[in-house]
């Protein structure tokens, strides 16, 4: 009886796994990397493993089966199926982890969500467990490390996918318009847009996950602005802008190129207008962009710009 009680307690104590990763790749491409056997075989395992056999069919009820072979030759099977598929937004996969004899050690439900960021996609993974054999607990305990290495391999696969499409030339146009009203004077909002120190407080990468490589700013007609940084995992992004029209406290017009690891993703023309309204300021930004050579923006630039405008507002009234 005591053994059964301890076993039940061990099962109940297994915490869910949660992790996030940002990729400088369009949401549709990150989603596609989960969609087929060929893609999944290249990345869905930790660094020292290989995948000799897999079967993936992305539709509700379709299989998600992966055989991971360790450096010792031992094979570990995950046999699952898709229970929810929302293109470019969400996946839910029910998985059984089995031993070499085919005995199920634990069950896992994996929920994957895909969201736009300024430069690409945020991937969130939540995994919950039902333990059938306490011997599986050490495997589950190492899941965070294993998933981290697996997502490193996903990053490499996304790079391979991007390189494979470089020969296909394309130009896709898009336009968006955003507005914000800030509880601050036009002079203060203008400073946040044009003063290097003030802009650095909101126009940057995620603290702790991004390293500044270069920042320069010269806000005048013909002046340039550049922000270059390295993200965890090694990816480098580069914002390179030229100002064409500068009307203090009223208007900025500039064009910018966006690069990912020296690959030009887009060229955009942005217009920022400020309107004083009592003690508040209305900011309106209109951006026209052309996305190049297979880069599928899928709305991520508009979403990311909205997040930056919110960060600008927070910088005006620091806690």
Asked: is 2-164 a CATH 3.30.530.20 domain? The reply is: yes
**Ranges of each domain in the chain:** 2-164, 171-316
Tally Cβ neighbours within 10 Å of residue 192: 20
* Choices 3.40.50.300, 3.30.530.20, 3.30.565.10, 3.40.50.2300: CATH for 171-316: 3.30.530.20
Q: Which residue has the tokens 């507005």?
A: 179
Residue-by-residue pLDDT tens, the chain, 319 positions: 444 444 444 444 578 889 999 888 888 889 989 988 888 989 999 888 888 888 898 999 999 999 888 888 888 788 889 999 999 899 999 988 877 666 788 888 999 999 988 778 899 999 898 888 777 676 777 778 888 899 999 998 888 887 765 445 678 888 999 999 999 999 999 999 999 999 999 999 888 888 999 999 999 999 999 999 988 777 889 999 999 999 999 999 999 999 988 788 899 999 999 999 888 999 999 999 998 876 767 677 888 899 999 999 999 987 6
pTM beyond 0.85, yes or no: no
* 171-316 shares the fold of 2-164: yes
């Amino acid at each position: 009886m005591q053994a059964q009680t301890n076993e039940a307690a061990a099962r109940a104590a297994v915490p869910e796994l949660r992790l996030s990763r940002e990729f400088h790749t369009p949401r549709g491409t990150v989603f596609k990397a989960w969609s087929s056997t060929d893609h999944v075989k290249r990345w869905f395992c930790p660094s020292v493993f290989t995948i000799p056999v897999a079967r993936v069919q992305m539709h509700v009820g379709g299989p998600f089966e992966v055989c991971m072979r360790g450096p010792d030759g031992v094979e570990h099977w995950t046999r699952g199926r898709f229970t929810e598929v929302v293109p470019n937004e969400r996946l839910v996969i029910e998985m059984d982890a089995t031993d070499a004899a085919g005995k199920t050690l634990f069950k896992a439900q994996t929920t994957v969500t895909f969201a736009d960021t300024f430069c690409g996609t945020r991937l969130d993974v939540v995994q919950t467990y039902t333990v059938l054999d306490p011997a599986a607990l050490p495997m589950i305990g190492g899941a965070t490390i294993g998933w981290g290495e697996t997502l490193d391999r996903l990053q490499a696969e996304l790079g391979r996918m991007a390189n494979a499409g470089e020969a296909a030339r394309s130009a896709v146009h898009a336009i968006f318009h955003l507005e914000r009203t800030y509880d601050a004077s036009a002079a203060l909002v203008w400073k946040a847009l044009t003063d290097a120190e003030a802009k650095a407080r909101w126009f940057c990468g995620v603290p702790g996950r991004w390293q500044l490589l270069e920042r320069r700013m010269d806000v005048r007609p013909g002046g340039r602005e550049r922000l270059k940084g390295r993200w965890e995992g090694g990816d480098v992004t580069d914002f390179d802008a030229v100002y064409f029209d500068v009307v203090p406290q009223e208007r900025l017009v500039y064009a910018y190129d966006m690069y990912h690891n020296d690959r030009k993703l887009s060229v955009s023309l942005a217009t920022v207008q400020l309107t004083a309204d009592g003690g508040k300021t209305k900011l309106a930004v209109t951006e026209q962009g052309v996305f190049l050579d297979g880069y599928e923006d899928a709305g991520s630039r508009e979403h990311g710009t909205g997040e930056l405008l919110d960060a600008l507002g927070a910088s005006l009234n620091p806690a």
